[in-house]
Chain A
């Protein structure tokens, strides 16, 4: 055991003998987590703790009560909230791709309704935007409520017209009162829907940083862990592995030391990035630290094993370096570390289940977003251990020390 620890510490020392290692170990992951978190806030959440609902930009050109009423119904949604902007501002925001869509309430909207005319309101969106699809559905619900108010008013007007004795002066009062009661009843209708979540969940809508923090952790820790392949190939090509073999240490001890060294580097990196996320970006990393620790260990082990497997395929350090960058980026992107998997097609979501990064992201999301405990991450942790076993078996089978 002592020899294993010595080899592990030696590997860590060599890795950090170059100051540039810290750039990849800490600096770049922090830069990426921050920038991508800022970018995701527009589409994922809006990072305003007091109101984390998605923003829907509204251009209200109406000066009557129905435009205002629609905004009031939209405000009652628990998915989105309206934010008023001028038409030029909304267009500029769209051109800059800062928003996915905006709603335009036309001039004389209320007047036309009072005249008994049908009115269209325009929802402009990017055709491929997932957020816009969600906002559109939410908007239809608010429009449905407004239509109820207008329909009941129309029905009331019909009732009045059937009552020849009804004094003309009372007509508008009668209709306004009907609208008022309708709006009041719609706030608390006899049949309604409520949204609930598991008691374990901390935030209603996760922030951009809660997506970017685990996502970039997976990306950059994978780079560190797969970087083990580069170190291994370097030592093999330089002959230092051969030299180690003529010492009294067995192959298994040398091998275990190298695995331990890489795993420790990965775990330390994960702890530092979690610390940065929690303390600087206010990312909630769950309440069950044991569950989080299990996920970190299992992900670390699977990544280290993949690094060993890559080392068995690479002949030169440059090849290993190329494979490290290729695999860490592609695995992270595919596994949902760069964008939430929910916005991808169903076939894609199914296909990426064969990747360790997908299971790592699932496990981290279980802990952070779904607030799960150890029981909730058993499946993800087991699958990651399975990947680790598979990669180790292939890696050891193919790996050459000389």
Chain B
């Protein structure tokens, strides 16, 4: 066997016999992929769950009929997936549940709620305030939504639900009220006629409820033209964690040159007919094969777990080879500039984690500021994430070609620089 392949084989054996190395290579990335899967609600990209079952405590101080509509709305079938309501007659306990983070919000209905919506006097055809400005003037009531500040989105949803329910009450009440007011204002009726007409209009409104759906909301899921599927955080987590832990693995390979140098095995190897080029070449090939195997296992596992449909399998293979080559280039350059294995380990881990944070391995890349997205294109992570995201969105080979070219160029430049430094060090 040629010396390069001998060294490569030895590197592979060392890598795959090391239990702690295997933890970092396979168990850690899969553990995080599973955590993200559990956190975001499913193990198939078709069933990603969003927010739901928001705990809300309802406190009803009102004895009238209208507050029961509010309570019933929270218990309705329409909201059964979104909220998880519970009734509590003790307001302080409800507030305590929010303070203790057991509920996203407490909805507190005041005692005069029903009276403010439809005063008893008005039901009897009497205007409580006989003023020309507004004969409908009556007491006001306020539903309090006591929000949990650490559940911004959930408590915001509860507030919006309360607003939507109240709008229906307000809409019904205002219709009759404003009609009468305007008729008085425009001289169509006198103030004396208002109770009689008001009662008539109110009855008509009750029997023939006016349409309140002039404007409706049509919800569409986002999909830009060339893409067949939408961005999915679960799918994204697979290449994201694979790239992160690939960098850890490959760094260890670069570090092994320094370990051999420190332990004296490198100088022993150099007195044999094996040249420095053979040694470094063999180690690099070992690192590349280890990386390819690691990426293949993680990507394959993730694909099966989340049913990911890649746009081009040829693109996927080339992109994986390119990213492993670029990661190996970085590992070699770190080893070339380090004096000891400890130094290489520290610098390698720091660079790996900084690259990961800057490129978007810990949160969707698109959430990062644009300048950071551009700056992170000096990392294999940045190009890799762009490429894998494109493929997972159903785009073809041409969509990942720029990433593949950029990663191979990156690898070539880093290999050239590191081999120049190594040549100077070992010859």
* Alpha-carbon distance between A351 and B113 when the two chains are bound, in angstroms: 39
B149 touches A203 (CB 8 A): yes
For B51, B205, B346, the residue with the greatest tally of chain A CB atoms inside 10 Å of its CB is B51
Residues of A within 8 A of B148 (CB): 370
Residues of A within 8 A of B224 (CB): 91, 94-95
Asked whether any CB of chain A lies closer than 8 Å to the CB of B48, the reply is: yes
Asked whether any CB of chain A lies closer than 8 Å to the CB of B23, the reply is: yes
Q: Determine chain B's interface SS by DSSP, over half rule.
A: helix
* Alpha-carbon distance between A80 and B147 when the two chains are bound, in angstroms: 15
Q: A133-B50, A152-B175 are known contacts. Are A322 and B23 too (CB-CB below 8 A)?
A: yes
Interface string of B361-374 (1 = CB under 8 A from A): 01111111110110
Interface string of A137-165 (1 = CB under 8 A from B): 11111011111101110111001000100
Residue of A nearest to B113 (CB): A191
B143 touches A193 (CB 8 A): yes
Asked whether any CB of chain B lies closer than 8 Å to the CB of A23, the reply is: yes
B145 touches A196 (CB 8 A): yes
A174 touches B116 (CB 8 A): no
Asked whether any CB of chain A lies closer than 8 Å to the CB of B425, the reply is: no
A193 touches B163 (CB 8 A): yes
B215 touches A113 (CB 8 A): yes
Residue of B nearest to A159 (CB): B179
B214 touches A181 (CB 8 A): no
Partner of A39, one of B138, B233, B367: B367
Asked whether any CB of chain B lies closer than 8 Å to the CB of A256, the reply is: no
Residues of A within 8 A of B362 (CB): 32, 36, 338
Interface string of B186-229 (1 = CB under 8 A from A): 10100000000000000001000011111111111110100000
Residues of A within 8 A of B370 (CB): 96
Q: A18-B342, A316-B20 are known contacts. Are A182 and B153 too (CB-CB below 8 A)?
A: no
Q: How far is the CB of B83 from chain A (nearest CB, A)?
A: 10
B35 touches A330 (CB 8 A): yes
Interface string of B153-165 (1 = CB under 8 A from A): 1111101111110
* Alpha-carbon distance between A113 and B216 when the two chains are bound, in angstroms: 12
Q: A31-B354, A325-B28 are known contacts. Are A155 and B210 too (CB-CB below 8 A)?
A: yes
B150 touches A369 (CB 8 A): yes
B156 touches A138 (CB 8 A): yes
Asked whether any CB of chain A lies closer than 8 Å to the CB of B343, the reply is: yes
Interface string of A292-331 (1 = CB under 8 A from B): 0000000000000000000000001011011101100110
Query: Which residues of B261-290 have CB atoms within 8 Å of chain A's CB atoms?
Result: none
A198 touches B99 (CB 8 A): yes
Query: Which residues of B348-364 have CB atoms within 8 Å of chain A's CB atoms?
Result: 349-350, 353-354, 357-358, 360, 362-364
Asked whether any CB of chain A lies closer than 8 Å to the CB of B140, the reply is: yes
Partner of A181, one of B140, B141, B157, B182: B182
* Alpha-carbon distance between A32 and B116 when the two chains are bound, in angstroms: 52
Q: A190-B141, A370-B149 are known contacts. Are A151 and B222 too (CB-CB below 8 A)?
A: no
Asked whether any CB of chain B lies closer than 8 Å to the CB of A111, the reply is: no
Partner of B182, one of A35, A177, A370: A177
A130 touches B50 (CB 8 A): yes
Residues of B within 8 A of A27 (CB): 350
Asked whether any CB of chain B lies closer than 8 Å to the CB of A253, the reply is: no
B214 touches A119 (CB 8 A): yes
B182 touches A178 (CB 8 A): yes
Q: A20-B343, A36-B357, A128-B50 are known contacts. Are A134 and B171 too (CB-CB below 8 A)?
A: no
Residues of A within 8 A of B413 (CB): none
Residues of A within 8 A of B219 (CB): 122-125, 136
Residues of A within 8 A of B357 (CB): 31-32, 35-36
B51 touches A126 (CB 8 A): no
Asked whether any CB of chain A lies closer than 8 Å to the CB of B401, the reply is: no
* Alpha-carbon distance between A330 and B220 when the two chains are bound, in angstroms: 35
B171 touches A131 (CB 8 A): no
Q: How far is the CB of A267 from chain B (nearest CB, A)?
A: 23
Residue of A nearest to B119 (CB): A190
A20 touches B350 (CB 8 A): yes
Q: How large is the interface on A (under 10, 10 to 19, 20 to 34, 35 or more residues)?
A: 35 or more
B146 touches A190 (CB 8 A): no
Asked whether any CB of chain A lies closer than 8 Å to the CB of B183, the reply is: yes
* Alpha-carbon distance between A181 and B178 when the two chains are bound, in angstroms: 7
A127 touches B48 (CB 8 A): yes
Asked whether any CB of chain B lies closer than 8 Å to the CB of A194, the reply is: yes
* Alpha-carbon distance between A163 and B182 when the two chains are bound, in angstroms: 13
Q: A190-B170, A193-B166, A370-B101 are known contacts. Are A159 and B231 too (CB-CB below 8 A)?
A: no
A193 touches B99 (CB 8 A): no
Query: Which residues of A68-101 have CB atoms within 8 Å of chain B's CB atoms?
Result: 70, 77-80, 91, 94-98, 101
Q: How far is the CB of B50 from chain A (nearest CB, A)?
A: 5
Residue of A nearest to B34 (CB): A330
* Alpha-carbon distance between A98 and B366 when the two chains are bound, in angstroms: 5
A159 touches B164 (CB 8 A): no
Q: How far is the CB of A50 from chain B (nearest CB, A)?
A: 17
B36 touches A32 (CB 8 A): no
Asked whether any CB of chain B lies closer than 8 Å to the CB of A45, the reply is: yes
* Alpha-carbon distance between A163 and B35 when the two chains are bound, in angstroms: 68
Residues of B within 8 A of A370 (CB): 99, 101, 148-150
* Alpha-carbon distance between A316 and B18 when the two chains are bound, in angstroms: 11
Query: Which residues of A41-67 have CB atoms within 8 Å of chain B's CB atoms?
Result: 42-45, 54, 66
A40 touches B367 (CB 8 A): yes
Q: How far is the CB of B183 from chain A (nearest CB, A)?
A: 7
A136 touches B217 (CB 8 A): yes
B164 touches A140 (CB 8 A): yes
Asked whether any CB of chain A lies closer than 8 Å to the CB of B32, the reply is: yes
A192 touches B39 (CB 8 A): no
B350 touches A330 (CB 8 A): no
Asked whether any CB of chain A lies closer than 8 Å to the CB of B87, the reply is: no
Residue of B nearest to A314 (CB): B20
Residues of B within 8 A of A344 (CB): 38-41
Q: How far is the CB of B40 from chain A (nearest CB, A)?
A: 7
A94 touches B222 (CB 8 A): yes
* Alpha-carbon distance between A12 and B343 when the two chains are bound, in angstroms: 19
For A113, A129, A206, the residue with the greatest tally of chain B CB atoms inside 10 Å of its CB is A129
Partner of B175, one of A36, A155, A170: A155
A42 touches B367 (CB 8 A): yes
Interface string of B19-37 (1 = CB under 8 A from A): 1110110011001100110
Asked whether any CB of chain B lies closer than 8 Å to the CB of A247, the reply is: no
* Alpha-carbon distance between A163 and B149 when the two chains are bound, in angstroms: 53
Partner of A24, one of B144, B150, B166, B350: B350
For B151, B178, B233, B360, the residue with the greatest tally of chain A CB atoms inside 10 Å of its CB is B178
Q: Which 7 pairs show the lowest CB-CB distances between chains A and B?
A: A97-B366, A20-B346, A144-B167, A141-B163, A137-B160, A79-B156, A148-B171
| Apart from A20-B346, A150-B215: 14 A-B pairs, beta carbons within 8 A | A23-B350, A39-B363, A43-B367, A78-B159, A119-B215, A122-B220, A130-B153, A134-B160, A151-B211, A190-B173, A194-B144, A197-B146, A318-B20, A343-B51
User: Could you give 10 example pairs across A and B, Cβ below 8 Å?
Assistant: A32-B362, A54-B156, A98-B366, A122-B220, A133-B50, A138-B156, A148-B170, A186-B170, A344-B41, A370-B148
Instruction: Identify the A interface with B (CB < 8 A).
Output: 18, 20-21, 23-24, 27-28, 31-32, 35-36, 38-40, 42-45, 54, 66, 70, 77-80, 91, 94-98, 101, 113, 118-134, 136-141, 143-148, 150-152, 154-156, 159, 163, 166, 170, 174, 177-178, 181-182, 185-186, 189-198, 201, 203-206, 316, 318-319, 321-323, 325-326, 329-330, 333-334, 338-340, 342-346, 348, 351, 362, 365-366, 369-370, 372, 376, 379
